[in-house]
């Protein structure tokens, strides 16, 4: 029984890591999208596209509708990860670079862990909080040392986005234990679809003149991968492992995102990333041990 439990948790960490790898492209892709589309259109369009795809899966697999008691939790998930995080980061990326914004993701594991305690009733060991805090401090220190592309407005928007996203992650993980990982994000998208569809229609560009293929590619990525496929693995990982523990994998996301920002957008990536990554990997391993 104990070996089965350990295998289940390990599978959760593997699934969570796949989710993080997919999410690492979100901010660089959003940066591409908001170059030619408005942040409000990108937020609403990605939700509509993902919701329509998800609805097809729900119908094809004949998934049972969530109970009325689950609608409040689904609304929190929708507010956090369908609307709040995409919109706030989209606006923030008009003020800061993707390379600068992506380091704020390093604060997300700590926010997720805190909401995991408040909403999911988890109780990590004291050593977990030490590793989690050191990891978050490492990422924050890296951001301050890097210093390029900073903006107070952009930074405040990113902090607000992180808080909303952490709440949405924790709430969705708790709900995933009853509904299933992909079902949670899909039902949250369907719940938000009527409002998002109206916003998308009102903010849609008048024509495709001036809309480059890179912006379209960025919108496609955040719609299909960031908004849907990534959450299939992510919520599954959080449900199988623990919100606080598996959530620490997000400490790796800034550095994956920075590599993509450098490769795709040509944004500068400093040598300090290597040293910071080593420290963060150590903190993730420690948090995993004591979560």
Average pLDDT over residues 136-157: 72
Output the pLDDT for position 146: 61
Per-residue pLDDT reduced to its tens digit, 197-209: 999 999 999 877 7
**161 in any annotated domain:** yes
Q: Using pLDDT thresholds of 50, 70 and 90, give the confidence band for residue 1.
A: very low
Comparing 66-70, 183-187, 249-253, which segment has the lowest mean pLDDT? 249-253
Question: Can you tell me the distance from the alpha carbon of 195 to that of 181, in angstroms, rounded to the nearest whole number?
Answer: 23
Question: Can you tell me the distance from the alpha carbon of 217 to that of 223, in angstroms, rounded to the nearest whole number?
Answer: 10
Comparing 63-77, 138-152, 247-261, which segment has the lowest mean pLDDT? 138-152
**147 in any annotated domain:** yes
Residue 3 clears pLDDT 70, i.e. is over it: no
Question: Between vectors from CA 23 to CA 22 and to CA 25, what angle results, nearest 5°?
Answer: 80
Residue 47 clears pLDDT 90, i.e. is over it: yes
Nearest Cα residue to 18 out of 240, 167, 176: 240
Average pLDDT over residues 8-34: 81
Q: Using pLDDT thresholds of 50, 70 and 90, give the confidence band for residue 48.
A: very high
Contact 244, 174 (CB under 8 A): no
**146 in any annotated domain:** yes
**2 in any annotated domain:** no
**93 in any annotated domain:** yes
Comparing 2-16, 30-44, 71-85, 124-138, which segment has the lowest mean pLDDT? 2-16
Q: How far is CA 152 from CA 83, 100, 155, in A?
A: 22, 12, 5
**126 in any annotated domain:** yes
Q: Which domain holds residue 219?
A: 11-290
Output the pLDDT for position 126: 79
Q: How far is CA 228 from CA 50, 57, 188, 214, in A?
A: 6, 11, 11, 20
CB atoms within 10 A of CB 202: 10
User: What percent of the chain has pLDDT above 70?
Assistant: 77
**5 in any annotated domain:** no
Tell me the whole-structure pTM to 2 decimals.
0.79
Output the pLDDT for position 117: 77
Phi then psi for 66, rounded to 5 degrees? -65, 155
**6 in any annotated domain:** no
Q: What Rg, from alpha-carbon coordinates, does the chain have?
A: 18
Query: Total domain count for the chain?
Result: 1
Output the pLDDT for position 80: 92
């Amino acid at each position: 029984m104990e070996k089965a439990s350990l295998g289940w948790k390990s599978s959760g960490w593997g699934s969570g890591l796949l989710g993080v790898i997919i999410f690492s492209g979100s901010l660089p892709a959003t940066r591409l999208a908001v170059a030619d589309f408005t942040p409000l259109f990108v937020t609403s369009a990605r939700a509509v596209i993902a919701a329509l795809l998800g609805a097809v899966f729900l119908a094809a697999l004949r998934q049972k509708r969530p109970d009325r008691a689950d609608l409040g939790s689904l609304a929190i998930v929708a507010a956090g990860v369908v609307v709040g995080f995409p919109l706030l980061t989209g606006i923030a990326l008009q003020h800061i670079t993707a390379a600068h914004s992506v380091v704020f993701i390093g604060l997300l594991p700590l926010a997720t862990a805190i909401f995991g305690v408040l909403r999911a009733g988890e109780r990590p060991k004291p050593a977990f909080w030490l590793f989690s805090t050191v990891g978050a401090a490492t990422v924050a220190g890296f951001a301050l040392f890097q210093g390029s592309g900073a903006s107070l407005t952009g930074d405040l928007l990113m902090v607000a986005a992180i808080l909303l996203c952490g709440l949405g992650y924790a709430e969705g993980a708790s709900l995933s234990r009853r509904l299933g990982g992909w079902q949670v994000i899909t039902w949250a998208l369907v719940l938000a679809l009527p409002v998002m569809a109206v916003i998308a229609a009102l903010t849609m560009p008048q024509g495709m003149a001036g809309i480059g293929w890179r912006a379209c590619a960025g919108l496609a990525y955040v719609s299909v991968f960031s908004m849907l496929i990534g959450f299939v693995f992510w919520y599954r990982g959080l449900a199988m492992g623990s919100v606080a523990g598996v959530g620490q994998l997000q400490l790796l996301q800034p550095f994956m995102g920075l590599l993509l920002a450098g490769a795709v957008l040509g944004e500068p990536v400093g040598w300090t990333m290597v040293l910071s990554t080593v420290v963060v990997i150590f903190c993730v391993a420690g948090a995993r041990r004591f979560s």
